[in-house]
A and B are shown apart, each in its own frame.
Chain A
Amino acid sequence: MDHFLLLVWHALLVAVFFAFLWRSDARGRKILFVKTFLIMVVGAMALGWLMFPIP
């Protein structure tokens, strides 16, 4: 089981969901989707690296 793939899949679903929930125009949805998706994926990776030294 690829944990990173699950992370991406979860972020994808949530980003699509909020893009359609909170924006009604196509451009707004695209922007919110990209922002949300990147924040979740990159943020999770960054947190993972930051926590790496912690035993």
Chain B
Amino acid sequence: MTDVWIVVAVVGVVTVLFKAAGPVFLGRRALPPRIKSVVELLAPVMLTALVVTQTVGGDGELSLDARIPGVAAAAVAVWRRVPLVGAMAVAAVVTALVRALA
């Protein structure tokens, strides 16, 4: 319980400061170009790590299971420009079906 609240508090304060960075702290100054290109890569990099962990992550090991066909089907859905919630539904249904059949 306490751990959860520490995460909520720290992430909350840091996010408030990030969003205020331009309007309150930096004003019209631009970020240095190299810092900007590093910062802009953080979101895709972290999202990739989350996709990998959520697809093949296990308890301290790689675990290849029914999530893989589910996520693969969702990848096709995303590629075909199916909206976020549709892609999530595709992944859930395919994975649940594979689990039920296994």
A, B assembled together: no
